[in-house]
Structure 1
Amino acid sequence: MPIIVTVHVDVVLTILTVLGIGNRLWGLMYPNAVVFDEVYYGQFVSLYMKQMFFIDDSGPPLGHMILAVGAYYGGFDGNFSWNRIGAEYTGNVPVWNLRFLPALASALCISLAYQIVVELKYSHFSALIAALLIMFENALITQSRFMLLESVLIFFVLLAVLSYLKFYNMQRCSFSVSWWFWLFLTGTACALAIGVKYMGLFTYLLLLAIAGGHTWQIIGDTSLSNGGLARITQGQPLEIAFGSQITLRNVWSKPVPCWLHSHKNMYPIRYDSGRGSSHQQQVTCYPFKDVNNWWIVKDPGKQELVVSNPPRPVRHGDIVQLVHGMTARLLNTHDVAAPMSPHWQEISCYVDYNVSMPSQNLWKVEIVNRDANEEVWKTILSEVKLLHVNTSAVLKLSGTALPDWGYRQLEIVGDKSSNVYHQNMAWNVEEHRYGKSKAVC
């Protein structure tokens, strides 16, 4: 079986990286003399090269050690008198190597800035502008060309910010290898920033505050039980997308929960009362976990039943179709009386009998507890109403048990008469998976 490897290359990011390296490394040996704080950091580098023990009480040692790495690979023996600014470097001082790592760190900051803006969900054009501003910022160019620590510090700070944003944006892939990698890299980059200069501590505190805010948003979005919060942390995707496979639990079904359910049995052609039905596939609310509780959220304009890459989240106001997972039939309602509650509409999964009753299977998602009009439908957190597009009926639980032909399961109806919200109209996505998604974590 052939092994297929797919590689995605961001051409803009690649070009920015190459240009940034050229921008920062060009003419790195000029001037060939001690500049500003090189007179200070050079002394520590010489001590490292001579393997002499010393106590550095000016700050963390990591930055000086990074500069010493460049000196080591340049073959510097440590013999230079760092006694004044402007002193000419002698032939044994590898100036290019001493200045290389700060310059490289500054060059990579351009790429990091580009990716940070992208992770913040701004356009690639905005990210390009941000990267170009950093590339041609005169103070950063000047600072990066000498044996100083500021460029290294900025690199680790930006790496920490980018890593956290990558981690936060991977909620749909929680506990995957990539999710753990970015979380680990966030902590590592924060530690490295502090190891270069104590000012890096402020980056750690900033990310800690942001993470606390994000955690509070998740907890505060709804009155989650411990079980509900645990479900989020079990790796389920948070955002419902077109192609998601879900189970829908009625919010009103307490203390015994029940889930939107269908099976291959049809409504009787005639009920005991003599009324006729649509003879469509039964839809009920079932108080047990069952494979027939699973539904697929489908985009009415597409045939695909898998999540795209990247996923397209379902938002408040979107029109969807719900495909029953086991029978592949669409959730439907007509202007036909419900079996036990004739003042409401029957809910079914559509069966095409080639009669004059076309399918009416479009549903509008309305997030009841939303904070914004374009809020994304979320696992556990969102309480949604499903409004039938053709008849304006709301999918709800009547609470009445069906007869033996319905296996004593609870009746689901469409209510188009009530303008008053009740919890029997609201549904939670309790279980969620992308299934055969093309999304890669």
Structure 2
Amino acid sequence: MSTRQKGGQSTKKATTPSPTSVDAVKDDFQPLQPSARSAVSSEWDYKLALFIITAIAFVTRFWGINHPNEVVFDEVHFGKFASYYLQRTYFFDVHPPFGKLLFALMGWFVGYDGHFHFDNIGDSYIKNNVPYVAFRAMPALLGALTVPTVFLIMWESGYTLPAAIVASGLVLFDNAHIGQTRLILLDATLVFAMSVSVLSYVRFYKMRHDPFGRKWWKWLLLTGVALSCVISTKYVGVFTFLTIGSAVALDLWGLLDINRKGGALSLRQFGKHFAARVTGLIVVPFIFYLFWFQVHFAILNRSGPGNDFMSPEFQETLSDNIMTANSVGIDYFDSITLRHKETKTYLHSHPDKYPLRYEDGRVSSQGQQVTGYPFNDTNNHWQVLPATSFPEDKLSGQRVKSGDLIKLRHLVTDSYLLSHDVASPYYPTNQEFTTVSVELADGDRHNDTLFELRIEGAKGKSDLKSLSSHFKLIHNPTKVAMWTHTKPLPEWAFKQAEINGNKNVQQTSNIWYVDEIPSLSADSERSKKEPRKIKHVPFFKKYFELQRAIFHHNNALTSSHPYSSQPIQWPFVLRGISFWTQNDTRQQIYFLGNPVGWWIASSVLAVFAGIVGADQLSQRRGVDSLDERTRSRFYNSTGFFFLAWAAHYLPFYLMGRQLFLHHYLPAHLASALVTGALLEFIFNLDPVALEENVDAKMAGKVANSTKKGGGPGTKRVVPARERMGGNSMLALWGAAGVVMTLVVGGWYFFLPLTYGKPGLSAAEVVRRKWLGYDLHFAK
């Protein structure tokens, strides 16, 4: 590495690429020239290394995959979902369907009928006759294929063999990647699709000097399909879109430059480039993304545990739906029970009063308590009455409809539901709910007992029906919605749920429904059930309803978890997750990254940022420490990998939901790429400006040479390993050997915690508590 003072003896002016440039590979990497094709077949060392790495990846992922033969950690969720698919039973999950459909496909391949529902961690697969090895084989296969994909990314980007081995080796011998891909979990699909997206984009970018050709379109579309698989597995896949999208945006910005190398494009030509990328990287992924939801809806056509998350209209598209089959129209003067959709508590009241003062000193109305009660009893019975007093015989048989003003009479205490401008016990901004006597309800407090019934999705004056009509009860004078939540009230309310008036009327948790009609006799005409036809709802209507439910419940995952962790802890692997334990054998599976590999990769990320800062500062002071070609490669190729890490890591700081160590796996893969690339940069393996463009797989130069027995002017390819002196390559191999020795040592040391065997003594467990790892059996 030479340092040249600007204005000195060297007259060659180095240009500084923008540090934000994220092109996947530099302009040196071009489609293979005819004279170079024979050299490709001679890359036997890369091919041999790829074969060996792939074989080891399969061994590390599949070895002992049948252990333990019990349900482990989140297998309770994703194994259950596969069973629901196979039984065609509707369920709800916060993740898109693609990864779960792969598990169902594997179950279908082996003839599994979905009879086991993975209810509890530790349930035996053997006793329940579950083909769990087949289920685990699918993520293990994808996890094993991720390792050679990382190697190919480095190879296609023109890096030397030691750099490619280090990058892929950090993933190959990482305990977190191995542990996550040996179980029925989604992250193997996510990480593999993310790595294929990066590889496909690198191959597409290399075709940029032959735009709109067959290979150009092939790799563009493959990038889009891979991106679709990422986002269709988990919504954090949007970070991969951010990575590729940033590179594409800068690529388009370069194409727009009138002074670009290779000639300016007309606006018409630029428009074709723009439209092609929009089609391949936005339209095609979105079509595939929608396709998996269509498959999801087509398979799940029976009622199941996911019904409660969906609207009555959606549920009517499912067969065997109890809600629609048993729904009955509600008449005025019916006795009903009301139930909260989200918490399943009943609207309840009893003679006890609110205390004079709450714990914080606020004063209550001392009125009759109105609470939420989890069990059905007579104190949950309310009579529906019209807003204006009418004799019962005059309104007999008249249906309660959406938009009606109603009153609710508590039958046991003969009092009327009321809300008023008094703060509720737990929410000073929300209104208290209580009841008042018949005299007050008919007199001075009449308006305070009026509630508007708003049925969700109702068209006009729709009838209120039990079970199938979901509604909000809006207090007419103050326009607050009746609401409840999960935090129990103190002993003075028998630890029942608080009912209050929510000023945020649009909140989705304000929904209630009529659960039963106790006053309805069995021989009533309304009790007779007629056969119900399964209704059809357009795909996009079901899709948007499911999206709203997914995002709502995803954002609601804010409760604490004993093994959750914060993003600042992930790069340093400060704590992991206990997946499974067995007391008798002292065996445990503890999800933990290889600390040695993670610390090396995290350190390299800091070194990269430091080099960028130092280079920018030195150029400001007129010192050019890098030649143009090396700087371009450093910013564009290594910078692209660094962007992939940042895009998959930094957004988690903005999230308020539960976060776990496995959320860092895509970012860790990107950090492995940065590590391999920076290791090569440190040894200055690309100091010579190339005279002609060659394929990235060769990553060499085309130089004038003399053909054996011939004259001057013949071209030959100089492979990447010949771009440096022997000492530099030897030093690189030495550094790679040291790194991989340390990484393999860390992997082997923590292997019992990853594979769940053998069991460890207390002393052996303690030796593995390097940081705050909350391991079991340490005593």
Question: Normalising by the residue count of structure 2, what TM-score does the alignment of the two structures yield?
Answer: 0.30
- Distance in structure 1 (CA, Å) of the matches to 2:48 and 2:254: 35
Aligned to 1:201: 238
Give runs of aligned pairs for residues 49-64 of structure 1, distance below 5 A: 49-52=86-89, 54-64=90-100
Give runs of aligned pairs for residues 347-366 of structure 1, distance below 5 A: none
Partner secondary structure for residue 299 of structure 1: strand
- Distance in structure 1 (CA, Å) of the matches to 2:190 and 2:92: 18
Compared with structure 1, are the counterparts of its residues 300 and 88 closer, same or farther at alpha carbon in structure 2 (3 Å cutoff)? closer
Aligned residue type for 2:102 = I
Compared with structure 1, are the counterparts of its residues 304 and 70 closer, same or farther at alpha carbon in structure 2 (3 Å cutoff)? farther
The structural deviation recorded for 1:129 is 1.1
- Distance in structure 1 (CA, Å) of the matches to 2:69 and 2:132: 7
Aligned to 1:111: 148
Aligned partner of 1:159 among 172, 177, 196: 196
The structural deviation recorded for 1:305 is 6.7
Aligned partner of 1:125 among 159, 162, 168: 162
Give runs of aligned pairs for residues 19-30 of structure 1, distance below 5 A: 19-30=56-67
Compared with structure 1, are the counterparts of its residues 18 and 300 closer, same or farther at alpha carbon in structure 2 (3 Å cutoff)? closer
Aligned to 1:299: 704
Count matched residues.
251
Compared with structure 1, are the counterparts of its residues 149 and 304 closer, same or farther at alpha carbon in structure 2 (3 Å cutoff)? farther
Residue 150 (structure 1) aligned with residue 187 (structure 2): yes
Compared with structure 1, are the counterparts of its residues 196 and 228 closer, same or farther at alpha carbon in structure 2 (3 Å cutoff)? closer
Give runs of aligned pairs for residues 213-292 of structure 1, distance below 5 A: 213-220=250-257, 222=259, 225-227=264-266, 230=269
Compared with structure 1, are the counterparts of its residues 240 and 180 closer, same or farther at alpha carbon in structure 2 (3 Å cutoff)? farther
Tell me, yes or no, if the aligned pair for 2:704 and 2:715 is still in contact at 8 Å: no
Compared with structure 1, are the counterparts of its residues 85 and 228 closer, same or farther at alpha carbon in structure 2 (3 Å cutoff)? closer
Aligned to 2:219: 182
The structural deviation recorded for 1:180 is 1.7
The structural deviation recorded for 1:210 is 0.8
Which one has the largest radius of gyration?
Answer: 2
Aligned partner of 1:40 among 77, 85, 105: 77
- Distance in structure 2 (CA, Å) of the matches to 1:243 and 1:186: 24
User: Which is bigger in relative contact order (C-alpha 8 A, separation at least 6)?
Assistant: 2
Aligned partner of 1:77 among 94, 107, 113: 113
Aligned residue type for 2:92 = D
The structural deviation recorded for 1:169 is 1.6
Partner secondary structure for residue 235 of structure 2: coil
Instruction: Give per-residue Cα distances to partners, 1:120-142, cap 9 Å, x unaligned.
Output: 33212111111111111111111
Partner secondary structure for residue 199 of structure 1: helix
The structural deviation recorded for 1:57 is 4.2
Instruction: Give per-residue Cα distances to partners, 1:165-203, cap 9 Å, x unaligned.
Output: 111122344333222211111000000111111111110
Aligned residue type for 1:299 = N
The structural deviation recorded for 1:154 is 0.2
Aligned residue type for 2:134 = N
Partner secondary structure for residue 232 of structure 2: helix
- Distance in structure 1 (CA, Å) of the matches to 2:719 and 2:171: 31
Aligned to 1:363: none
The structural deviation recorded for 1:42 is 1.4
Instruction: Give per-residue Cα distances to partners, 1:68-105, cap 9 Å, x unaligned.
Output: 11111222111114211111113521111010110111
Aligned residue type for 2:141 = L
Partner secondary structure for residue 104 of structure 1: helix
- Distance in structure 2 (CA, Å) of the matches to 1:227 and 1:305: 36
Tell me, yes or no, if the aligned pair for 1:109 and 1:154 is still in contact at 8 Å: yes
Question: Normalising by the residue count of structure 1, what TM-score does the alignment of the two structures yield?
Answer: 0.51
Q: In proportion to residue count, which structure has more helix? A: 2
Aligned to 1:66: 102
Tell me, yes or no, if the aligned pair for 1:243 and 1:308 is still in contact at 8 Å: no
Q: Which runs of 5+ in 1 are unaligned?
A: 245-296, 313-441
